[in-house]
Each structure stands twice: as C-alpha cells, then as structure tokens.
Structure 1
Amino acid sequence: MNSHQAVADGPLRVGITGVGSCLPEQVVDSEELRLRVVAGSGMALPAGVFERATGILTRRAVRPGEYASTLAVGAARRALHRAGLEPADIDLLVFASATRDMVEPATAHIVQAELGSRAHALDVTNACNSFVNGVDLARTMILAGRARRALVVTGETPSRAVRHDPADPAQFRDGFAGYTFGDAGAAVVLETVERGGILDVDSETHSEHWPVGGIFGGGSRHPRGDEHTYFQGDGSELREVFEKVGTSVIDRMRHRTGLDWRHFRYVLVHQVTVPYLRRFVEITGVPEDRLVVTVPELGNIASATLGVQLDRVQGDLRSGDRVLFVGLGGGVSLMTMVWEKA
C-alpha cells in the first residue's frame, strides 16, 4: 500500500518555523555497554563487538526520573523559543513517538501539563516513523482549518527496552538490535507560511512484515510480564525487508516533484547502524555530503532521528533551501517529506 500528497500551489502553505532537540546528559559508550552485558549474562563477549558490528561508538541514555516526556518537553521549549512563541500560542500538540511514558493517558497530556499549554493534545505512534507521521497529521489539520499553530514533539527512551542480562546466546542474538538504541527528544513548530513550507509527502506501508521486530508488551496481547518489555527482532531481517521494499517511495517523490539530489541542501534519513547507512547510500545514490550523520555518536534514536538531525543543521539553512526527510519504521513503513525553508 502506498499514498502520497503533493501540496498544490495556493495561498495556504504549512511550514516548520521552530526546531528543537534534547539529549540526556548520560553518555554510554559501546565498551561500557559490553561490560554491562557481560556482567549481567556471564557470556564472554569480545572487546569491541558492538562497535565493530554497528559502527556506534556512544549513545545517550536517560537516568532514573527522566522519561520520554522529559525529553519531549526539553525539545519543545527550544522549538517554541526559536519560533518566538509561548506555549499558550499552540492550539494543537502532537506527541509522536515509538515510546511513551505509559499506556494511558496519552503522553501528550503529560507534556502539555509541564509546558502549561491548553492545546488539543493527542499521541501518534508508528515506530520510527512516528515523528514524520505526527508532522504530516499536524500539517493536514492546519490545512483543514482545525488548528492554527501545532507543536509536534517526540521523546524516545528505547534504552529502557534493552536486555542487559540475556539468559543465553540465542536471547542475546534476538535482542541484539536493541544494543543500537539511544535516547533523544525532538520538536518542531508548524504554522502557515507565505512561501516554501512542506511541499510533498509520500508513504508506503508493508504491514505483512510487522512481526519482524518490536516491543510486544503492554497491549492486550501481552499486558504483563517483563519478557515482552524488551526489544525483540532480527536486525539483519529488518534490513532485508527494507532492501526488498527498495527505493520506490523515493523514486516516486523524485519523479512527481522533478527534484533530484542536487535540489536538496540536506537529506535526513533514519539511521540504525553505520553499515545500514552505507547500504542506504549505495542503494539510493544520495551524495554523502547531503547526509547529517548522527548514528556513530547517538546510535539509533528511533523517531527522534530526523528531528535531531534537522536541529543540528537548522542554523545553516537559508530561505529556499530544501530538505528531504526519509523515514524508515518497523511495521513496516517508509516515508518521504519535502520541506522548503520559507
């Protein structure tokens, strides 16, 4: 299944007017993580195993008392400040994340209570595509006249779904993808703009692959029990699925919009490991100087990836610069979004 929407020329355009991110202070390097797993499991893991397999040197991790909402609030305050707005100026707040503070209520309410805003608040979740989905939903609601200014936030704490004491090598392999995880938050403000804005959105969904990987606890299938609160999945199988799906969503975007790599100042892509990013470059042909590489330093920060990358380059962008967002998420879904700075 695929869907797309190219935003037609007209008086109403929606753009990003403020960007923010938030990283936990605690840094965990790959050797520290290996030693923790060795201590918890008793397995003999060779030095450098995580770094060699993933290319990840460090990642950030929340401390006790820090939550997904903590990171979302930190990022939200920065985004609002850069947009020159106060929390009361927002009439739609979307918390869009693969992780959340609790099953119920929506984490958006926790974020809103901390900010002191009074907006319509709701959660959106779709694995690592959650944030792009949230931006697309907020944009659509503004175009429909249901909101004037939206704040889309994510707070990702997948480090809490990492198994540090696997019982045996099989359990270690089943949860290996979790050792790529890092924590982060990101936020954007959306409102109408006179020029530029979000020009095109496309998505493709292959839901038959949903069992390949995930955190399967907390819902009606597995409401209780620690076993289902850890990430489970085969990272190589996930990679095979994305390669099988191919580049069709990117190819459609380029054909429909007439834009090529040279038309983008940056290409922001979800990053799982360094080898996976290299494979993405090989398959798509995107020039490496268009990428914002975060995975060696931050690991896989789930749906916060694209927001953190955007925050890192937002100061370099000038009016008319275009940015391509490429989202990859378990489920499985792929997304592209073209944004032009006003």
Structure 2
Amino acid sequence: MNIASPSGWSTPRVGITGVGVSLPDRVLATADLQDRIAAASDIPLPPGLFGTVTGIERRRVAGDDEYASTFAVRAARRALAAAGREPAELDLLLFASASRDLVEPATAHIVQAELGGSAHALDVTNACNSFINGIDLARSMVLAGRARRALVVTGETPTRVMRPRLDSMAQARTAFAGYTFGDGGAAVLLEPVRRGGIVDIDTETRSEHWAVGGIFGGGSRHPRGGDEHTYFQGDGHALRGVFERIGTDILHRVRRRTGWDWVDYERVLVHQVSVPYLERFIEVTGVPKEKLEVTVTELGNLASATLGVQLARVDADLRPGDRVLAIGLGGGVSVMTMVWEKP
C-alpha cells in the first residue's frame, strides 16, 4: 500500500539502501581456544574436541578496548557511506543486538554520540534475532510515517560470555554452546524505494522455551550476576529441536504467500550456530547449499550480527531484482523470515 508522510512523500515499499560490516582484527583459532580452556579446567578435554563438534575453525575476538558499540559505529559509517547519507539525515537509530555496552542508558545513545546526529535512538533486544527484529521495527516506522530514514545497527561481543574454565562434565554440557561465539557488527540503512525492497516478513515465537539457553545475570532476577549467571549456558540439542519443529512451518507460510521457492531466491541467509546446525538446516528445509553464504567456519556464531555480515558479503554481487531470503533463529525462542528484493 502507499503511505504518505507530513512532508508529502509516498512510497509502497521500504528498502535496504546501504549495508556495512565491521569485524575485529584479532583472530582466535578454535584449537587455541580449547587449549586455553583446557589449561584452566579441572576436567580433561579430548584433543580437537571443540573443532570436531562445532566445525568452527576460527573466529574474530574483540580487543580489550573494543565494545559492542565499537563495531556498531564502524559498520554504521560504512552503511551510510554506501548509501551516500550523513548521520544528520537519519530520523531513527536502532541498536539491535544481544550484546550491549551497559544496562543503562541504551547503547543506541553511545552509537549516536560517536556518529553524530539527533535521530530518535533506542535499543531492540531479542537474542540472535535482534537485528532482523530491528529491521522489521524500522520498516514499520517508515511505513507508518514516523521516520523517513532509519539506521539499524548491531554490535556483538558474545566471546565475553564464554565460560573461561570448566569444573565438571555437567558444567561443560551447559557451557559448550558458548564456545561457538565470535564478535562483530553490521548495519543497514532503510528508506523508501520505488521498486524492490522488503516484500515479506514473518515471525514465529514459542516463549515457553525461554529457559533453554541464555545469559541469566544482570537483570532483576540475578542483578549481581555471579559466575553461574554471567556466562552463556544452555542446552544446544534442545534448542536445535525447537528450531526444527517450528522453522519449517514458517518457511511453508512464506512459500504460500509469495509463491516463491528456493529457485526464486538468489541467496538464502540463515543464522549459523555451528556446522552441524547448518547441515541439519539444509537437511530439514531442502535449501540448496549453493544458495547459502557460509560464515560460521571462519567467524563462528556472530549472534544477531550473523545475517547482517552475510548480507554485506553477498550485496555487491546482487543485481536489481535479485531476491534474498533471510532466516533468523533466536533464543527465547523465535524464528523470523524476511524477503528482500534489491532495488
């Protein structure tokens, strides 16, 4: 449908007109990560365990003076430059991430203080679906006439919630998913477009599974954290089972609404936790592997930055009219899909 703002502009769609990404310089090999954990732990770890189980060879790790906002700012500058825009032209800035610099104020204000401008700034948090949730919210604000240009940024530093030592096998089982993490950031600029743009978004949420995995410290339940609540913990197998049960339903709905199948998409972007997770996704959904942009082996699980990093990597090779299907998976538990057509 067409919408109009008070200034008189109108458009039927909102599109992504600029993409940016930022990754730390430091590379941490999975073998070196395991050696570090093993040296500090009270239990033996079989050689090569982390690499064999996750399929992750390496990941990027933030430096001591780098924060979630650091990567968001760097990615934001690149997205704005790609679109030929300045911070002063923004009406909305969303920091959409599982990580943050502080509990209060919103990290979006830290990002905006570095970028400049005075857009309405706030945080959006929904685990690894935060970034795609932020895109959905920004699109809705543009369609509602509340903003003309919106910048959605994420900065993820989940390597800081890896447990540094293992005291028992029971602890190892709940901590292991945390050893998939890598750090990085991404950003997209959204504004009205005359063709293409975001043409479909869907969500599926099963909140009864919220306790399957997460970082449970820092809020009103465990305000002081403590070791048991400071680090990521969860049941990776249970999470995968939930995603398998609900993920195929949402993909069927997208197919029915759009009439498009795998062949109609130039690329398919999917949140990537580990290689076995990705292989199971391919098996369950039937997506052709050549449609995927595989990042997990070299970057690990980038949390909400995963889809943004993948989009930045494929964007240069896309032609006007090419379609991309993005599939987000997040703790809580939620699944999201977004169909985007390059203008």
Residue 166 of structure 2 corresponds to which residue in structure 1? 166
SS in 2 for 1:46: coil
- In the TM superposition, structure 1's runs of 4+ consecutive aligned residues that sit over 3 Å from their partners are 7-11
User: What is the TM-score with the length of structure 1 in the denominator?
Assistant: 0.96
Q: Does 1:121 align with 2:121?
A: yes
Residue 60 of structure 2 corresponds to which residue in structure 1? 60
Residue 291 of structure 1 corresponds to which residue in structure 2? 292
1:212-232 CA-to-partner distances (Å, cap 9, x unmatched) read 000001100000033211001
Residue 83 of structure 1 corresponds to which residue in structure 2? 83
Residue 229 of structure 1 corresponds to which residue in structure 2? 230
CA shift for structure 1 position 8 = 8.2
CA shift for structure 1 position 130 = 0.4
Identity %: 68
CA shift for structure 1 position 175 = 0.5
SS in 2 for 1:316: coil
SS in 2 for 1:327: strand
Q: Distance in 2 between matches of 1:226 and 1:100?
A: 18
Q: Distance in 1 between matches of 2:203 and 2:280?
A: 21
SS in 2 for 1:219: coil
Residue 318 of structure 1 corresponds to which residue in structure 2? 319
* AA partner of residue 172 (structure 1): A
Residue 280 of structure 2 corresponds to which residue in structure 1? 279
SS in 2 for 1:103: coil
Q: Distance in 1 between matches of 2:43 and 2:164?
A: 11
SS in 2 for 1:121: strand
Q: Distance in 1 between matches of 2:327 and 2:81?
A: 26
Residue 175 of structure 1 corresponds to which residue in structure 2? 175
Q: Distance in 1 between matches of 2:43 and 2:312?
A: 39
* AA partner of residue 306 (structure 1): L
Gaps of 5+ in 2: 4-9
Aligned length: 336
Residue 12 of structure 1 corresponds to which residue in structure 2? 12
CA shift for structure 1 position 12 = 2.4
Greater shift in the superposed pair: 297-306 or 226-235: 226-235
1:273-296 CA-to-partner distances (Å, cap 9, x unmatched) read 001101101111111111000000
Q: Distance in 2 between matches of 1:118 and 1:180?
A: 37
Does the aligned pair in 1 maintain the 2:2–2:12 contact within 8 Å?
no
Residue 104 of structure 1 corresponds to which residue in structure 2? 104
Gaps of 5+ in 1: 1-6
CA shift for structure 1 position 187 = 0.3
Residue 189 of structure 2 corresponds to which residue in structure 1? 189
SS in 2 for 1:302: coil
Residue 139 of structure 1 corresponds to which residue in structure 2? 139
After superposition, the CA RMSD in angstroms is 1.2
* AA partner of residue 16 (structure 2): I
SS in 1 for 2:320: coil
Residue 303 of structure 1 corresponds to which residue in structure 2? 304
SS in 1 for 2:191: strand
Q: Distance in 2 between matches of 1:194 and 1:244?
A: 37
User: What is the TM-score with the length of structure 2 in the denominator?
Assistant: 0.96
1:154-199 CA-to-partner distances (Å, cap 9, x unmatched) read 0000000000112222212210000000001000000000101000
Q: Distance in 2 between matches of 1:96 and 1:250?
A: 24
Q: Distance in 1 between matches of 2:129 and 2:2?
A: 24
* AA partner of residue 165 (structure 2): D
